[in-house]
Amino acid sequence: MARNITINYGLLSVAAKYEPATVRAEPMVNLCVGQPTTNQHDPSPLTMPKHCTTCGPITDFDAIVKGIKTPDGYAVVTQQDVADAKKANVEQFKGKIDIIPFTTGQFMTATGQAGSVQYVTPVKGSEDHYQLLLKLVQEHPELTFAGQYTPVSKVALYRLAVRTAPTGEACLVMEERSREQSMKPVPSTSGDVNEALFDLLEATLPKMEQPYDPSLFEDTYALAVAKMAIDAQDTVNVKSSSTEKATAKVVADDDLAAKLKALAES
């Protein structure tokens, strides 16, 4: 479902709408094909763990099968079908990722951003080889090193990149990407570019550009919740403190700031 959003850049304001750019693969579902007391019927999805949309409450769980939704209904698959598919397409990518260099522009255009980002660090004894790979990735931004990997039960596409801290410390990260087959077709857009306005807009870039400040984009809600937790803990400590004490310990602003910063960086 598309949602409305307004995108602002300086004096330019664009009313737009946004929606998911990827298509989720149809998961396998539990289906009923008929109970002993009813005639066999076409596969029907279960509305509840023990209820069939066609014949009602389930009494014979041997009638429950696995299936995949199709344009014409549901296709039944066997446990052996599932096991064979996993063996052929999932198991080979467990525990390792074989990366291949691709032209960055082509790779990034053909794939989309996904949610998972993982830090990759060396195990003892592989530190030197790790640094070789890190330097290779770091010194060739024109290339994207990518491959497939199965973290749990799904084969995912990952891009190997480098994340550098303000201190200069660098680490490899695996960024999950959406495959081209999962991307919806690019929607068509209307409108024309007013070249005179574009020139004026582009001329604002030197004045609009600024050094990136992470504090501008902090999750203020998460920080507020953390502060509430600290305040609540302080309240509990006050109530449980000895009645012989005239005053309870108050958390100083510097201590609170340190706690919030540590929580935000954890």
pLDDT attached to residue 244: 44
Between 157 and 68, whose confidence is greater? 157
What pLDDT is recorded for position 62?
73
d(C-alpha 68, C-alpha 219), whole Å? 39
Whether residue 21 lies inside any domain: the answer is no
Q: Is the pLDDT of residue 224 over 50?
A: yes
Shared domain check, 135 and 58: no
Do 143 and 102 touch, CB atoms closer than 8 A?
yes
Instruction: Tell which residue, 71, 63, 41, 67, has the closest CA to residue 54.
Output: 41
Domain boundary among 182, 205, 235: 182
Q: What is the pLDDT of residue 247?
A: 41
CA dihedral 220, 226, 230, 233 (to 10 degrees): 140
pLDDT digits (tens, 9 = 90+) for 50-62: 788 777 787 777 7
Q: Decide if pLDDT at 85 tops 80.
A: no
> Does the residue 54 lie in any domain?
yes
Q: What is the pLDDT of residue 265?
A: 58
Q: Specify the pLDDT at position 236.
A: 64
Last-in-domain residue among 127, 160, 182:
182
Buried b (16+ CB within 10 A) or exposed e, 62-75: ebebbbbeeeeebe
The count of domains in the chain is: 3
What does the block give as tokens for 162? Answer: 């480098």
Quick check: pTM over 0.75?
no
Domain boundary, last residue among 77, 105, 135? 77
**Confidence band (pLDDT; 50, 70, 90) for 261?**
low
In sign, the C-alpha dihedral spanning 127, 131, 132, 133 is positive
The position carrying tokens 């990759």 is 120
Q: How confident is the model at residue 26 (pLDDT cuts 50, 70, 90)?
A: low
90 has pLDDT over 50: yes
Verify that 104 and 173 share a domain, yes or no: yes
Q: In this structure, is residue 151 part of a structural domain?
A: yes
121 and 177 inside one domain:
yes
Same domain flag for 101 and 177:
yes
Asked if residue 2 belongs to a domain, the reply is no
DSSP-assigned beta bridge partners for residue 51? 48, 57
Domain assignment present for 192: no
Beta strand pairing status for 12-18 and 28-32? unpaired
Q: Are residues 168 and 106 in the same domain?
A: yes
Task: Give the pLDDT band of residue 130 (cuts 50, 70, 90).
Answer: very high
Q: Is residue 160 part of a domain?
A: yes
pLDDT tens digits for range 198-216: 998 899 898 888 888 888 8
Mean pLDDT of the chain: 81
Structural domain that includes position 254: 216-265
**Which value, to the nearest 10 degrees, does the dihedral of the CA atoms of residues 177, 178, 180, 182 take?**
170
82 pLDDT above the threshold of 80: no
Short-list 20, 18, 22, 19, CA closest to 181 = 22
Residues 251 and 174 in one domain: no
> Is 18 inside a domain boundary?
no
> Does the residue 38 lie in any domain?
yes
Higher per-residue confidence, 153 vs 115:
115
